[in-house]
Amino acid sequence: MNNQGSLNDSHKVRDLFGLLTICRKAGQLAMGFDPMKEALDGGKARAVFIAADISSKTEKEVRFFSEKRGVPVKKTEMTIDGCTTEWKRS
């Protein structure tokens, strides 16, 4: 992979993280399995983003509940620890 590709990927992750931060600060982001499931059941979820290091069992469950409600799932390049660290700074 060339450096330009890596740069674009890191910008995409940063941009997505910025958008998710805005949603979190506005109270429109459900974080965690149970809040995600409640948002899906309540018809409030429009998309589900999962961390790169999510367990395969949890990913399977997330995909099952999301697909049941017709909500798209996107696996990101962000890690669980990376998100936690970044959100503590913002």
Mind listing the domains of the chain with CATH numbers? 3-89 (3.30.1330.30)
* pLDDT category of residue 88 using cuts at 50, 70 and 90: low
Angle (CA) 43-52-24 rounded to 5° is 45
In 3D space, the residue among 57, 88, 62 whose CA is nearest the CA of residue 75 turns out to be 62
Predicted local confidence at residue 14, as pLDDT: 82
User: What pTM does this model have?
Assistant: 0.79
